[in-house]
Chain A
Amino acid sequence: QSVLTQPPSASGTPGQSVTISCSGSSSNIGSNTVHWYQQLPGTAPKLLIDSNNRRPSGVPDRFSGSKSGISASLAISGLQSEDESDYYCAAWDDSLNAYVFGTGTKVTVL
């Protein structure tokens, strides 16, 4: 089982904001950068947030990341129907010597 814990689901109506949490420990989030991936239904994952809060080119500024201590968050503002997807946090874990993904959060746009 994953060492990064996310809520299994989150939802909102179009235009609302949604925040997804990612809880880890001192050996992963506490000491390394956090990445976020978006996986649209039936497709490969896509890098959404790099280095805790940096958006790769092409990622809308509606997506933002933050990190504090051993937790991180992904915020989606101005929710759109195309944001309906699975979202995963990830970080390197110094104790496990492994890149660990979160449990994943399914975002539904109501």
Chain B
Amino acid sequence: EVQLVQSGAEVKKPGESLKISCQGSGYSLPSYWIGWVRQMPGKGLEWMGTIYPGDSDTRYSPSFQGQVTISVDESFSTAFLQWRSLKASDTAMYYCAGTRAGEVLPFDIWGQGTMVTVSS
């Protein structure tokens, strides 16, 4: 079964750093664009940015540019979403999502989500 598998839930304090991951299972990341989508509690979906693992070409939403870093590992098998200094307002569910081969959009396959809770 083709799927994206995300890392587990995180509980952090304001000011701490965090890196969450998204790994393909039966899905070769280098061949697809991988995006990150935020969903704050009880709210809608927000696109944060997208990376092409094959060459690390990364595009950020203006709303999230400079706030997070999207990257892939050296083997191009895992994508990451990273914060240097978390805020309480970063509390949300974060989904990674992948496209079909050769397409930037839409998101055809989704990870199960990683819940990030930031609280003092």
A interface vs B, CB < 8 Å? 2, 35, 37, 39, 44-47, 50, 56, 88, 90, 92, 96-104
| B-side interface residues, number (CB < 8 Å) | 21
Report B-chain residues with C-beta under 8 Å of the C-beta of A103.
44
Q: Which residue of A lies closest to B63 (CB)?
A: A98
Are B95 and A44 interface neighbours, CB within 8 A? yes
B interface vs A, CB < 8 Å? 35, 37, 44-47, 50, 59, 61-63, 95, 97, 105-108, 110-113
Q: Which one of B62, B95, B110, B113 lies within 8 Å of A98 (CB-CB)?
A: B62
Closest CB in chain A relative to B46 CB, distance in Å: 7
Closest CB in chain A relative to B45 CB, distance in Å: 4
Are B105 and A35 interface neighbours, CB within 8 A? yes
Report A-chain residues with C-beta under 8 Å of the C-beta of B37.
45
Q: Which one of A35, A96, A98, A104 lies within 8 Å of B44 (CB-CB)?
A: A104
Are A99 and B112 interface neighbours, CB within 8 A? no
- Sample of 28 A–B contacts (CB below 8 Å): A2-B44, A35-B106, A44-B110, A44-B111, A44-B112, A44-B113, A45-B37, A45-B45, A45-B95, A45-B97, A45-B107, A45-B110, A47-B106, A47-B107, A90-B47, A92-B105, A96-B62, A97-B59, A97-B62, A98-B61, A98-B62, A99-B35, A99-B50, A99-B61, A101-B45, A102-B44, A104-B44, A104-B45
